[in-house]
Structure 1
Amino acid sequence: MAQVQVSNKPWYKEVTKNQWRALIAASSGWALDAMDVMLYSMVLVHVMADLQMDKTTGGFLATLTLLSSAVGGILFGMVADRYGRTKSLMLSIFVYSIFTFLCGFSETVTQLAVFRLLLGIGMGGEWVAGAALITETWDAKHRGKAMGFVQSAWAIGYAFAAIVAGLISPLWGWRGVFFFGIIPALVAIWIRKGTKEPEIWEKMKQESSKVKQAKPKLLELFSSKIIRWTMLGAALSVCAQFGYWGLFTWIPSYLGTPIDKGGAGLDILKSTTWIVIMQTGAWFGYVTFGFLADKIGRRKTFILFFVMAALLVPVYGMTHDATSLLLLGPFVAFFGSGYFSGFGSVLAELFPTEIRATGQGFCYNFGRGIAATAPTIVGFMATSIGLGAAFGFLAIAFALAALLVIAFLPETKGKVLN
């Protein structure tokens, strides 16, 4: 395995203008993706009351979005391998912003379900396009950091969703919150103007045009040389995302649900504040994971984050005191979110360039598709035992993720892509 050379320069002085541009493009798209997707969670209590949904139905609509995002991720992964990372990124942002906007016109549960389903296609596509763009543009020794910063944008988008809902919902209701979701379309236009394709992808396209070859197909992920990485990446993604989506889809509702119904009983101002503070912890988790992954390796960092998440999430679910939730929340988000920074780098380091985005898209979004059941399962369990108790069930997923890393994941720190 080719290794990178050591430099005495500060890492940020080694980064080129094109690399920064790619980082900003991917990060912006991911932050706004998070905002558009999480707007639903922020207004879920109001939507359920207005459209007469129970918690199981509310969770099922979140599940629909995650299921379609799995399809979108696989689809846009193939688009990114064939037509380019930036084109795929731009198109995915257009899709999720338009259908978030249309959610505001929903008059029935069915209409809202259709718009959330279509929104998910763009949501899934954004991650794979952005991950491929970053991992191929940035040098191997800084790849973990770059993906850490990109992934940290999710926390910014999540917190921004809480702020948007807190400001707009009292004035224009939950419909106005969804209307705000059209804003990301402007970022897609900016990306189209000046973000370059990675040189490694351009080189691959030039070489493939000289030699007539079959276009990259999804089936190549199941060839004898690749299938073990496909299976490992998909299994790890299932466990990690089941824990995340089961928890963070329902946290806003948990904070706003009355104490006598199993929640924390916070008003909208406190709920917004608690979520913003929690996502501050998540931001540090994403960034810290990236730096640790480049320093001590991918495996050790994954194990640390998964084990801590498995320990902290049940404790959070058993906590109902507002002050305790405020103090514990950032740590839960730090370890319960930060591990996502490792997926872009590790999956990129397991797959070759010609099917890299397809591999990333399949593994990450296959996991998301299976994990899509988590919000529904937690919502169903909450009807009998409460949301807090249902959160404890998610510790199993984090523990299984840690075991997968220990048993099967190779160390890929410093690997030069080819």
Structure 2
Amino acid sequence: MAQAQLSNKPWYKEVTQNQWRALIAAGSGWALDAMDVMLYSMVLVQVMQELQMDKTAGGFLATLTLLSSAFGGLLFGMVADRYGRTKSLMISIIVYSLFTFLCGFSQTVTQLAVFRLLLGLGMGGEWVAGAALITETWDAKHRGKAMGLVQSAWAIGYALAAIVAGLVIPLWGWRGVFFFGIVPALVAIWIRKGTKEPEIWEKMKQEATTQKKKSKPKLVELFSGKVLRWTILGAALSVCAQFGYWGLFTWIPSYLGTPVDQGGAGLDIMKSTTWIVIMQAGAWLGYVSFGFLADKIGRKKTFILFFALAALLVPFYGMSSDATRLLILGPFVAFFGSGYFSGFGAVLAELFPTEIRATGQGFCYNFGRGIAATAPTVVGFMATGMGLGAAFGFLAISFALAAILVLLFLPETMGKQLN
């Protein structure tokens, strides 16, 4: 009888205070991570003009950030498994906020490249620490929802970056935009004060200490036994998904702000900001919807739906230079072209055991990000000859390949209890 009453409760009434606290900590860190990382895209047109960069160089700097984020995700994943999820989360936020701030002092392309490289370490670390914290704190039946809500914070951060740029650029230029990036460091202090480690991690550490286990390095364990196939699948899926995302969303602000005679949409700064905010409203709905759908119909079906529709919509967006069509298509492109990220944290958590969970999540997600780091450079190079809109169409291949990988190889893990 008690079980029946429990099942009739709204899902949010089954969530504990500690679970909400973990979600807010991971979500706020992820939102501000997105804001700091995407500030570069918002000011890219101005930076290219002042520092005399072409599109290929502009894309390459974005690539550097993503490359270092891949290493950062792996590094902070191992830190999270050894020292705790919340400690890793806090340190990663401090790293990306500090180096975003320092970007504002750049006088040369080289200086900016160095700061973007170091910023990426914290960017990669935040996701893996937050994902491990959430997936181990929340129950299996609500894990997809939780990761959807956390991932949706990226859209909020992306929109915040556009708003900050729209307000700050007219007053203090692109340097002032980067200076604003120090704000997330304040969140790290809040996380340190009251966010608890997951019980499953605390239990694992206690057992390891009691038994004085001397295991092989956790990274090595990803490439042995039954875990190897999940490492390969997770990494391959991450490559396809992130190549499409970063190739598209790194360049969308520049595409909207580039003059029509140079292959862009020709929108002014305020229109570009408005279009991006509306687009990210669609992304937010996509992230949240993915989480609820994944808990309702399964991870596999939801992944296929989002990847397939992203593959169909992105080429149409690239072929549309009309401002009204871009306004209408934008939210749908962002909904399906972003929302699938909500599934990565839950699925990867359900494929790897506790002792290597954060390392496995960090490796797969950030290996994909490292390879996908080439996407902004590839799109920038292609855009030099054919324009950004046409280059976007090429990215549909990545989304289609991701759908095929899920269809053929990904097991359904909905409802799996972590161990």
- What is the TM-score when the length of structure 1 is the normalising length? 0.98
Structure-1 separation of matches of 2:227 and 2:410: 14
Residue 9 of structure 2 aligns with which residue?
9
State the 1:405 CA deviation.
0.2
Inter-partner Cα distance in structure 2 for 1:214 and 1:42:
48
| Residue in 1 that maps onto 2:219 | 218
1:220-264 CA distance string (max 9 Å, x none): 000121100000000000000000000000000000001111100
Partner of 2:309: 308
User: Aligned partners of 1:141 and 1:218: how far apart in 2?
Assistant: 29
Residues of 1 paired with 2:276 and 2:60: CA distance? 22
Q: Percent identity?
A: 87
Alpha-carbon shift at residue 331 of structure 1 (Å): 0.1
AA aligned opposite 1:312 = L
What pairs with 1:125-144 in structure 2 (closer than 5 Å)? Answer: 125-144=125-144
Alignment of structure 1 residues 102-121 onto 2, 5 Å: 102-121=102-121
User: Where do 1:344-363 residues align within 5 Å?
Assistant: 344-363=345-364
Is there any run of 5+ residues in structure 2 with no aligned partner, and where?
none
Cα displacement string for residues 122-142 of structure 1 (whole angstroms, at most 9, x for unaligned residues):
000000000000000000000
Q: CA deviation at 1:6?
A: 7.6
The AA in structure 1 aligned to 2:41 is S
Q: How far apart, CA to CA, are the structure 1 residues paired with 2:369 and 2:138?
A: 26
How far apart are the structure 2 equivalents of 1:6 and 1:114? 53
Q: Distance in 2 between matches of 1:22 and 1:257?
A: 40
Quote the Cα distance in structure 2 between the aligned partners of 1:320 and 1:52. Answer: 26
Structure-1 residue corresponding to 2:198:
198
d(CA) in 2 for partners of 1:191, 1:91: 10
Aligned mates of 1:90, 1:224 — CA distance in 2: 33
Q: What is the 5 A alignment of 1:269-284? A: 269-284=270-285
Distance in 1, matches of 2:227 and 2:6, equals: 30
- After TM superposition, the structure 1 = structure 2 runs for residues 11-410 of structure 1, keeping only pairs within 5 Å, are 11-215=11-215, 216-410=217-411
Q: Partner letter of residue 225 of structure 1?
A: K
Q: Deviations over 1:85-121 (max 9, x none)?
A: 0000000000000000000000000000000000000
User: How far 1:214 moved relative to its partner?
Assistant: 2.5
Counterparts of 2:237 and 2:13, CA distance in 1: 34
Q: Name the TM-score, length of structure 2 as normaliser.
A: 0.98
SS in 2 for 1:146: helix
* Structure 1 residue identity aligned to 2:113: A
User: Residues of 2 paired with 1:406 and 1:199: CA distance?
Assistant: 34
Query: Which amino acid letter does the alignment assign opposite residue 184 of structure 2?
Result: P
- Cα shift readout 1:187-216 (whole Å, capped 9, x = no counterpart): 000000000000000000000011122254
The superposition leaves residues 347-374 of structure 1 with CA deviations (integer Å, 9 ceiling, x where unpaired) of 0000000000000000000000000000
Give how far 1:342 is off: 0.1
Q: Which amino acid aligns with 1:51?
A: L
Deviation at 1:7, TM superposition (A): 1.3
* Structure 2: distance between partners of 1:58 and 1:139: 43
- Number of residue pairs matched by the alignment: 414
Matched residue type, 2:83: Y
Q: CA deviation at 1:272?
A: 0.1
Over aligned residue pairs, what C-alpha RMSD do you find? Answer: 0.8
Q: Residue deviations 1:369-418, cap 9 Å, x none?
A: 00000000000000000000000000000000000000000000000000
1:128-177, Cα deviation, whole Å (9 max, x unpaired):
00000000000000000000000000000000000000000110000000
